[in-house]
Every structure is written in C-alpha cells, then in structure tokens.
Chain A
C-alpha cells in the first residue's frame, strides 16, 4: 500500500508542476500588466498559447540537424524531472533521493547546455549571440548557485532537498547571517536563470539585448511549445525551491494526513501567489541592464554565496 501511495504522490507532484507552471507565468504577466495599468492577457493565456503552438506545424530551418529536433524534448524532460524533484506541497517524494540539490542544478545545466547548442545549430547570427551570452551568464550563475547550495548544505548537514526543508522548518535553524546572504544570492541567481528583468527580458523580440529569446529564435510549433513550457517549469522550480528552503512552513511531512496535505497544497499555492507578485513588482520597478553589467550583478551573487560559505566554515553558528 505504501508504495502505491508513494507513487501516487510522486505522480501527483509531476502533474501538478506541469499543470501549474503556465498558470504561474500567466499570473506574473497579469500582475505586471495590472501594475502598468493595462488589462493584460487572461490568466489562462499561456495554456492557450501552448495548445495553439502544439497544433501548428513545425517550420524547420533548412540546415537544421537531427539534434535540433531532439533538443526540445531533452530540455523539456530535464527541466520537468528537475522540477518534480523539488518538494512543493509535501516533502515525501518517492524519488527525492535519486537526485540531491547539486544534481538538480546540474540537470538544469544539462538542459541549458543543449539549448545553447540548439542556438548554434542552424548557423544564424542571432542564435550565436543568444548562445554565447547564455553560457556567459551561466558561467557565473552556476557557481553562485553551487555556493548557495554549499551554504545551505553546511547548515542543514545534507544536500537532499527534503532533508533540508525538514531541517529549515525545525527550530534548530534560527536567524543566521549566512542564510540571509544565501537568500539574497539565490534571488539574484533565480532572476538571471529565468531570464527576467533586469538580466534579460522575457517579453522582447527583435532586440539586440535579448539572450534567451535569441537562442530559441528558430524554433516553431511543438518544439517552441516545449521550450516555452520548460522555461515556465524553470520559473516554478526556482520559486518552489526558494519557498521550500526559506519559507518551508506548511509543507506536509512524508506520512501526512489528508488534512495536512490539503494544508500543504493551500500554503504552496499561497507561496506561489506571493512569489509571483513579488517578481512582478520587482520587474516593473527596475530597468533592464546592459548585457555587460550582468557579470557584475552575478559576480555579486557569487561573492555573497562565497561569503556565506566562508562564514559557515569559520563558525557553525553564523
């Protein structure tokens, strides 16, 4: 019985993140539009976009290789698996031990690796500009993220997300300087990783400053739908990870009763609403920066992460 329950739980988690992620993106867009005093697209617009794209034919560039056609599936699968390993409403995920936080980061790294290759596959200038900038941003964001993982792992004594969440909700944590630094760094990395303002603009096209959109410019139809869904999943992943590590209250423990699970779902949705709103407010209140200001931004995140780790090496209580 237990194994059936665990499988259902894991399956529910996978479906939940898949179904919620377009809604989250729609929600952020809506709040942004409202903040700009626009009506904004309806909340369900991302679903409609996905369905429309899926039904369309793929217009494949001449000279695109087999790799170009496989990459959307690899990127989607990698991102989906990574997202479904992050505890959302409950921490009793069946397969949570199959990949710890470092492996989740690395899975996202694999997805990015292939996406950057896709940018180079057709052999256009826009694809190249996107890929080269993406790897530049990643070369700083990934180490920063790893330093954050180090900080959290040293505090919680584990790199398993579920163990970390359980530790964070216990009273042993307390207020720590290193946690504050790590949270700040994590938010900076999350903004960069999800191609949000001020690092990149998710709503732009035909602009020399774009990064992510330039890389996927040649994709269309179902391929584009998968890439879009992957970036929506990634946004959900980062908000879930921040929620599970820094505001872990309400997450249902592994052997939770139905009431606690319901509470977990409600509190998770609440966290997503708060996270999405904060993101939208942040994005509307700041201008996009020049591409070569990004290294300074991410370098700061890396330094914050390193500082937090150093503090923990110096004293376990900081």
Chain B
C-alpha cells in the first residue's frame, strides 16, 4: 500500500506544476508552491522512513502506462526506501529554505513550475521497478533540472552550462539505455524482477557494469564525466543547486547501486577495480579543482565531485568484498558508502543554502568580493561553519563517521586474495586520506575568505541576515549533522535492511552498545564514540573557560590589529581566495593543472600597476572534451553540404543508402 500512497504524493507534486504555471505571477505563488512541496516531501519522507525502520517488506504496484505489454512497475524495497528518505529530506529542507529565498526571485515563473516536477521525477526514479519507467523518470529528472539550470537564461554562462548539461545528460542516458537493453535481452523483459531472475553471461555483465558506471557516473559527476556538474549546479537558483548537488547525485548513486548490486547478480572480483580507481581519482581531483575556485557555489559543486568519489570508493570496496564472499566486510563498506550518501546530502544542502543566503544578501558568488560576513550574518555564518566542519570530515560531526567507516573497511581488505586489488586498495586509501586533508584546507578557505576577515566590497559590508524560514532550514540540517555525528549507531542500524538486501548481512547491531559506541567488527579492533568525544571536548573547553575567567583574568580591551606592527587599513591587503590557495596550487597544481604564475613588474619609475596572472589548464577538458567537440564540429561542417543538394542528388543519395542497407542485411543473414 505504501507505494500507492507515495505515488499519490508524487502526483500531488506533479499537479503543483500547472497551478504554478497559471498563478506563477501572483505574489502568493511562491509561498504556496514551496509550502505545498514542503508538506508533500515531509509526508513522503516520513512514509519512507517508516518503511525503512519498520522493515516492511517491499510493496509494489503496476500501472497501465508505458510499454503496452509491460505497464509501469513501481516498488518500494529497503534500498529505494532509504533513497526516498534522502530525496524527500532534501526536498523538504530545500522547500522550507525556498519559502523565504524564492521571494527574491526575479522570474518566479521560470522556477516555480519546474521545481515540484523535479522533486516528483527524482522520487519516480527511485520508485521505478522496470527499465522503461526508470529511464523515462531519469530523463524527466534531467530535463526538469535542465529547465531550472537555465532559469536565469540572460546570463550567457548559464546558457552554456545548460547546453553542456543537456549534452552530458543525453550521453549518460544513452549509456543507461544500452545497459538496460543488454540486461533485458532480446525478448524485451524490462521489469526489474525479470532482469534479476536472468543471469547475464560474464562478458555481458562486464559491459553492463561499464555502461552503468558511465551512465550513472556522468550524472553523479565521476571524473572524467564531471565537466558539466560545476557549470550547471551553481547556475541554478540556490535551493535547486542544493537539490542537484545534495540529492540528484545521490539518485545517480542509487541507479548505480540498483543496477550493479541488485540487478546484475553476483559480482566478479575485477568489477571493483574500475569503481575503486574512478572513486579514488574522483575524490582527489574533485577537491583539487574545488581548491582552485573562488566562486563559492562552484567550489561547493566541485566538492560534490569529491564526495561522490568517496561514496564510489565505499561501493567499490563493497563489490570487492562481496565478490569474495566476505559478507560482513561488504556490509561495512556498503554502510559506509550509504551513510556518506545521507551525510553528504545533509551538509551539502546546508552549504548551498548558506551560499544562497550570502548570494541574496550581497549579490555576490565570488569569494574575492566577500569577507567579514560573520559580523553581518552571524547565524548564517554559524550554520555554514557547522557544514564546513562536517564536510571536512572532522569529529564530532557526521562526515567524520562515514569516512571513518570507509577507513575501517579499507583496513579489512588485505584479506582479499587478488593481487590487483592488493595493490590498488592501499593506493586508493592514500588518495582518500589525501582528499580528506585537502577538503579541510578547502573549507578553511571557503569559510575563512567569505565569512571572516574584513569586508572586501561595500555589498559585503552592507549584507543583512537572511530570513527566518531559510535559517530554520539551515539550523535543522546543522542539527542533523550533529545528531548523525554523535549518535551514528542509530543511522547505521537504520541502514541494516539495505545491507541485508544487498550484501546478505548487516553490521552488528549498534544502538544497544554501552554509551552508544559504534563498533564495526569487534571492540578490540576499532570503536568510536562521537557522543563521548563531543561531551569531552565541550566539557574540557567549558571548564577551561570557566577556570580561566574565574581564577586568572577576564579583562578584555579592543585595539587595532597588531600584524607585526604593519597593519594596513585597506581590506585589499588581506589574504584572498587565490592567495590562500597559492601554496597548495604550487604543490599540486603544477602537475595537475599546469599552473603558471606570470608576474609583470613595471619598470622603475613607471606608474602602471604590477600584475600577477595565474594560468590554470583543465587537462581533462583539453584531453577529452575539446577533441570530441572539435571532431563533432568538423564533421558537422563537412556534412553541412548535404543540406544544399538538388532533388536529383537527394534521390540518388536515398537510393544508394537503401541499396547499401539491403546489402548489409543480405550479408548479415
């Protein structure tokens, strides 16, 4: 029954779209659309949560749409219930945020109708239980988000982002289409149940794996298919950016898990290798790209790429363990990956909301034009800081727990017998460690340059705190970051039905343990207690503060900054985003981005300013995208001749094509 109610919710979201089309111009439309989306998303989230926690067995329904001999299958099992929670939690908070934020939208008619459709489409992807409905919903999701990306279409950059996005989305869907085609076989049995029952041959399964990695990876942002993501995610309005980064990439992860873990059957040992390699490279490249950015929203978008890498590392490990029948280890790795899915959706939404609030208050996305916002927007600064700590994988917040679980899974992997994995896994572990450390650097930069220091522009100096609805959404997510960080056992136990379904077993029951510790395998091996760490740090910090104020001194005097005796009143003398990243650019950038710094000093006596130009090259774009784009352009130019033929030549062309095709057919038979 629950699946039917969920579909009613989806239908309700769909009906919001025409309402928004008709009344989009009125002043109330904003509140009504987002308010209704909030209520529906909350309901859907609660239902999915109850299904997940209540271990309700999968319920399914077949509707008479779609392919005539198939119908549209929808089903909720543990996996889809978990992802429904993620999707609708993101949807609910984004709607709450947008009730306030959306009021500042210049062209609400371009956003309001697509927003609920986008939410509905993401729900449908997760609900779909046959290849046809899955692909239709997937494409629906892509198109709705594309419409939202180009909502501010007067900006040329957004148009380009939309164009690249559309291309990459169709490329990804093509790969998925082929993957499902191969899975369903020639008799066209597209229902997931039929696919699950058929066991594809080894070669076919390998092909499906690669196609699934390409198809879902291009939506999730796996390097080198990430190129569209940092363009498109920041271009959309902030609540949609949060949904695209926090939720839609997770729907892509769902697609991958569904195909590879559920439909494809028992994995072969080498399946994990491309996944692990892609994950490791994605994690490090994503964060390095992010460090080079000075556009706040683009930095966050690149950082999504990093987190997707971490998730794929967890999934790759789970595949490797599953292939060798190490079910407990597989359950641990899978839990780590799925917990990170949840965590990332929480803190990435929070950070995008914060960036949106800053954008609203100052009109700026460029960190070089911000600064000092902690004085003007103290609450936004606080919640943004919580998000930064969480995403940098620092205890006691939630990002740390899922990365810690991933590390624990890596430490179990020497038991894997295959040599390829024995060499790959430590390297991936090093990449994961590197990306975690670089992430902290990246968010010191993001928070430090935007919120701390002195205001660099008059807009930043005049910023106003954001509205109450937006703050409520952000506070809720920040609280969730803390709760998931200090009580991770509850969340790990919540994931148990999913790992039971996919890995055949689950991690040991956690919530019953003393002091709510989490123990992945055995207490002598490793354990972590976020609650105690949090309590200890809070207690010792407060005791120190109390003791010092009481026993020593609590006097305080304001004075000009010391700065070694050379303070400069101009805010331009502060460190900027690019100067902050300079040491890291010098260490990593010379190899990865061919970074070059060109300093132009004017000759003595000249009054022209000195200049420092930094050149970065995106080698992936240069090596992969530019040649393909060039080739397509070249071919199109050549084929352009075909548009200007005479009728005789067209007839000859058609006839030749026909004869050739018949010949091919004759030879084939």
Where the two chains meet, the residues of A that have a C-beta atom closer than 8 Å to any C-beta of B are: 51, 54-63, 65-67, 73-74, 76-78, 80-81, 95, 97-100, 102-103, 106-107, 109-110, 112-113, 116-117, 119-129, 131-133, 135-136, 138-143, 146-147, 150, 153-154, 157-160, 163, 205-206, 217-218, 221-222, 225-226, 291-292, 295, 302, 305-306, 309-310, 312-314, 316
Pairwise interchain contact B587-A135, C-beta atoms closer than 8 A? no
Partner of B453 from A51, A123, A141 at Cβ < 8 Å:
A123
A133 to chain B, nearest CB (A): 6
| Nearest-neighbor residue (CB-CB) of B371 within chain A | A123
Pairwise interchain contact A77-B540, C-beta atoms closer than 8 A? yes
Does B487 belong to the interface (CB within 8 Å)? no
Pairwise interchain contact B434-A143, C-beta atoms closer than 8 A? yes
| Nearest-neighbor residue (CB-CB) of B374 within chain A | A65
Pairwise interchain contact A121-B453, C-beta atoms closer than 8 A? yes
Pairwise interchain contact A160-B525, C-beta atoms closer than 8 A? yes
Pairwise interchain contact B556-A100, C-beta atoms closer than 8 A? no
Q: In this complex, which of A61, A102, A226, A302 has the most chain B Cβ atoms within 10 angstroms of its Cβ?
A: A102
A313 to chain B, nearest CB (A): 5
Q: Can you list 7 pairs linking A and B with CB atoms under 8 Å apart?
A: A54-B552, A98-B532, A106-B395, A109-B394, A124-B573, A136-B584, A140-B587
A-B contact sample (12 more), CB < 8 A, given A76-B540, A141-B437:
A62-B559, A74-B537, A81-B537, A99-B532, A113-B444, A117-B452, A123-B452, A123-B574, A125-B574, A127-B575, A135-B584, A217-B564
Pairwise interchain contact A98-B533, C-beta atoms closer than 8 A? yes
- Which chain B residues (551-576) contact chain A, with CB distance < 8 Å? 552-553, 555-564, 567-568, 571, 573-575
Does B459 belong to the interface (CB within 8 Å)? no
Bound Cα distance A131, B408 (Å)? 31
Pairwise interchain contact B564-A57, C-beta atoms closer than 8 A? no
Assuming the contacts A135-B441, A139-B438, asked whether A126 and B429 have C-beta atoms less than 8 A apart, the reply is no
| Nearest-neighbor residue (CB-CB) of A80 within chain B | B540
Cβ-closest 4 pairs across A and B: A128-B575, A123-B453, A77-B541, A120-B448
A12 to chain B, nearest CB (A): 15
Bound Cα distance A57, B552 (Å)? 9
Partner of B557 from A58, A132, A136 at Cβ < 8 Å:
A58
B451-475: CB near A (< 8 Å → 1, else 0) gives 0111000000000000000000000
In the complex, chain B residues whose CB is within 8 Å of the CB of A126: 563-564
Bound Cα distance A197, B393 (Å)? 29
Does B515 belong to the interface (CB within 8 Å)? yes
B538 to chain A, nearest CB (A): 7
| Nearest-neighbor residue (CB-CB) of B580 within chain A | A132
In the complex, chain A residues whose CB is within 8 Å of the CB of B573: 124-125
Pairwise interchain contact B540-A81, C-beta atoms closer than 8 A? yes
Does B411 belong to the interface (CB within 8 Å)? yes
Partner of A312 from B407, B414, B545, B581 at Cβ < 8 Å:
B414
| Nearest-neighbor residue (CB-CB) of B395 within chain A | A106
Does B511 belong to the interface (CB within 8 Å)? no
Pairwise interchain contact A98-B515, C-beta atoms closer than 8 A? yes
Pairwise interchain contact B533-A99, C-beta atoms closer than 8 A? yes
Pairwise interchain contact B563-A136, C-beta atoms closer than 8 A? no
Pairwise interchain contact B444-A81, C-beta atoms closer than 8 A? no
Bound Cα distance A314, B413 (Å)? 11
Assuming the contacts A116-B444, A120-B453, A221-B553, asked whether A62 and B575 have C-beta atoms less than 8 A apart, the reply is no
Q: In this complex, which of A127, A131, A136 has the most chain B Cβ atoms within 10 angstroms of its Cβ?
A: A136
In the complex, chain B residues whose CB is within 8 Å of the CB of A100: 526-528
Does B103 belong to the interface (CB within 8 Å)? no
Does B423 belong to the interface (CB within 8 Å)? yes
Partner of B525 from A141, A147, A158 at Cβ < 8 Å:
A158
B593 to chain A, nearest CB (A): 16
In the complex, chain B residues whose CB is within 8 Å of the CB of A312: 414
Q: In this complex, which of A55, A77, A206 has the most chain B Cβ atoms within 10 angstroms of its Cβ?
A: A77
Pairwise interchain contact A150-B561, C-beta atoms closer than 8 A? no
A184 to chain B, nearest CB (A): 17
In the complex, chain A residues whose CB is within 8 Å of the CB of B536: 77, 81, 95, 98
Assuming the contacts A222-B553, A306-B430, asked whether A136 and B587 have C-beta atoms less than 8 A apart, the reply is yes
Partner of B426 from A51, A123, A309 at Cβ < 8 Å:
A309
Pairwise interchain contact A56-B564, C-beta atoms closer than 8 A? no
In the complex, chain A residues whose CB is within 8 Å of the CB of B56: none
Pairwise interchain contact A132-B579, C-beta atoms closer than 8 A? yes
Pairwise interchain contact B553-A310, C-beta atoms closer than 8 A? no
In the complex, chain A residues whose CB is within 8 Å of the CB of B556: 57-58, 60
Bound Cα distance A131, B579 (Å)? 11
Assuming the contacts A56-B553, A99-B528, A110-B395, asked whether A77 and B538 have C-beta atoms less than 8 A apart, the reply is yes
Does B60 belong to the interface (CB within 8 Å)? no
